[in-house]
A = this chain, B = another copy of it.
Amino acid sequence: MTGPAPDAPDGPQQPPRRRGPGRPRQDEAAEGPGTQERIRLAARSEFAARGYDKTSVRGIAKAAGVDPALVHHYFGSKDDLFAAAVELTMEPALVVPAIVGEGPDGIGERLARYFLGIWENPATRAPLLAVIRSALTHEAAAKVLRTLVLRRVLERVAADLDVPDPTFRAELAASHMVGIAILRYVVRVEPLASADPEAIVALVAPTLQRYLTED
Q: Chain B nearest CB: distance from A99 CB in Å? A: 19
The verdict on A122 contacting chain B, using a C-beta distance below 8 Å, is no
Chain A binding site: helix, strand, loop or mixed by DSSP? helix
Interface 1/0s, chain A 30-57, versus B by CB < 8 A?
A: 0000000000000000000001000000
Please, how many residues of chain A have a CB less than 8 angstroms from a CB on the other chain? Answer: 45
Q: Does A114 contact B (CB under 8 A)?
A: no
The 9 closest A-B CB pairs, nearest first, are: A179-B179, A175-B179, A178-B179, A171-B192, A175-B180, A175-B183, A176-B176, A207-B207, A133-B136
Chosen A-B contacts, 13 in total, with CB atoms closer than 8 Å, are A132-B182, A136-B186, A154-B189, A167-B190, A168-B192, A168-B195, A171-B189, A172-B180, A175-B176, A175-B184, A179-B180, A182-B182, A207-B210
